[in-house]
Structure 1
């Protein structure tokens, strides 16, 4: 069992002189953050393909036991809307993400509020997702060579498992067939606290949990009170011990798969007022006490 509490992204101007020391060079912010948290969610990969140089640098600047979660490209989820995605998916895995090696944690796929549940579409998407780095490397070799010329890294090494998590934002996902589909493919449903703006569910669908805390009162803005963090700490303790909260809010009445323990990744995304890093530290301290 591993519990990793961290932040979504690390480069935010308002954090300088508040979370980051005022005299810290910007180029050392990841070094600083990765010594404060055991995991960080990379969200720049959502907006554009990152370069092999960047992926390699992020690997080298972080501690040996550090883990990144990586947000999949919005070009796949928001623009193509999961259709005709094999080449773009290959481009993503060819761009250097596999250089993270053992530091590559779950891959996050966030869907737009306008994308409704289509079982056949999501079945096809889940089937094409690689489940280990060997499969990801094989997919990466089918990249668009002209587009990816000079922007490719295909590292070889021991095959490592890959995990996937999905964050949904349309109410059509709120039923049992979606939960059954996730469980069949062993993909985690993101527990996304969005101040009530998007559907919320705590169904356990994989051997790990993935939480994104966007703010409980105001999206991306509000911090979490001690009472709220106490509640999250209790829920995390139950999930990681193999059970679930007694008052779990779920899309389905299916019982969670039985396990003695579960890994858990939790990222604070309420960054606008610099709450995220301090809330993450406070939650970690509560879990450690």
Structure 2
């Protein structure tokens, strides 16, 4: 039973003096990040496989219980048929060998154009992947949210392979009109899909896309608390990845959620510890 809570990146221009210490090199930001959070959503791999030197450095900069959750490259998830992607997916996993002990989950993020016609290919791909790793699948095609046969087939397939259906909760982001350019851009880029709460594997994943204003988020993330605790009580691991429109305030939102789950985070390295030892 483990709760993994983290962000979609470990570095941001707004974080020095907050999450990160001021004056440290960008190559050392992960050191500070990993003092607070125990996982990260690795989006860089979506655009290309990280080089061996970087992977080795990241392994050295993080504690033993830290987990990286990389996305399969877009060449696997977004280009062509999944049925043909086994060699490329296996090559990607092999390239991650320097971080093999710290791989929490590999995430296959499918585009909105990838519908029921890809289910056979998805089954073939999941069958071919090493069973010593955890996998998550994120879907965006409307058929997989219609509560019909396509969605039932998807869920059965994921349960069969102990693959986790990634849950995207972008409701806070769309809960009010855009008032800033960052919020407008986020509403344009982020998917607005229904929240179907289901655990198809042993490690449920929630991607929570928050609003920059905390008051817009609270009622949405508070509703998750009993569900997350229930999964933990069942002996499952749970991954919670917190985003905000431009991610400037994502660390603070994640800390608030962790505290509500009775698993408060350490003080941010970029902030002087308060007398009570708490962030707020």
Do both proteins adopt the same fold according to a TM-score greater than 0.5, normalized to the shorter chain?
yes
Equivalent-residue separation in structure 2 for 1:114 and 1:200 (angstroms): 19
Q: Does 2:155 align with 1:179?
A: yes
- In the other structure, the counterpart of 2:100 is 101
* Residues 272/87 of structure 1: CA separation in 2 closer, same or farther (3 Å cut): same
- In the other structure, the counterpart of 1:235 is 227
Moved over 6 A (4+): none
- In the other structure, the counterpart of 1:194 is 170
Q: Does 2:160 align with 1:165?
A: no
Equivalent-residue separation in structure 2 for 1:188 and 1:225 (angstroms): 24
Q: Which moved more, 1:25-34 or 1:264-273?
A: 264-273
* Residues 98/5 of structure 1: CA separation in 2 closer, same or farther (3 Å cut): same
Q: CA offsets, 1:63-108, max 9 Å, x none? A: 122111111111100123424213322331232x122132111111
Q: 1:209 aligns with which of 196, 204, 208?
A: 204
Q: 1:177, CA displacement in angstroms?
A: 1.4
User: Runs of 5+ in structure 2 lacking a partner?
Assistant: 146-150, 175-191, 264-280
* Residues 229/203 of structure 1: CA separation in 2 closer, same or farther (3 Å cut): closer
- In the other structure, the counterpart of 1:67 is 67
- TM-score, normalised to structure 2, is 0.78
Structure 1 counterpart SS, 2:196 = coil
- In the other structure, the counterpart of 1:115 is 114
Q: 1:6, CA displacement in angstroms?
A: 0.9
- In the other structure, the counterpart of 1:147 is none
- In the other structure, the counterpart of 2:129 is 129
Q: 1:20, CA displacement in angstroms?
A: 2.2
Equivalent-residue separation in structure 2 for 1:25 and 1:122 (angstroms): 41
Q: 1:113, CA displacement in angstroms?
A: 1.3
Structure 2 counterpart SS, 1:113 = coil
- In the other structure, the counterpart of 1:255 is none
Structure 2 counterpart SS, 1:182 = helix
Cα pair 1:5 1:265 within 8 Å, conserved: yes
Q: CA offsets, 1:139-197, max 9 Å, x none? A: xxxxxxxxxxxxxxxxxxxxxxx110111111112321111111111111011112361
Cα root mean square deviation, aligned? 2.0
Equivalent-residue separation in structure 1 for 2:15 and 2:130 (angstroms): 35
Equivalent-residue separation in structure 1 for 2:63 and 2:257 (angstroms): 21
Equivalent-residue separation in structure 2 for 1:125 and 1:173 (angstroms): 18
Structure 1 counterpart SS, 2:240 = strand
Cα pair 2:209 2:242 within 8 Å, conserved: yes
Q: Does 2:257 align with 1:269?
A: no
Equivalent-residue separation in structure 1 for 2:20 and 2:245 (angstroms): 13
* Residues 38/271 of structure 1: CA separation in 2 closer, same or farther (3 Å cut): farther
- TM-score, normalised to structure 1, is 0.76
Equivalent-residue separation in structure 2 for 1:169 and 1:177 (angstroms): 15
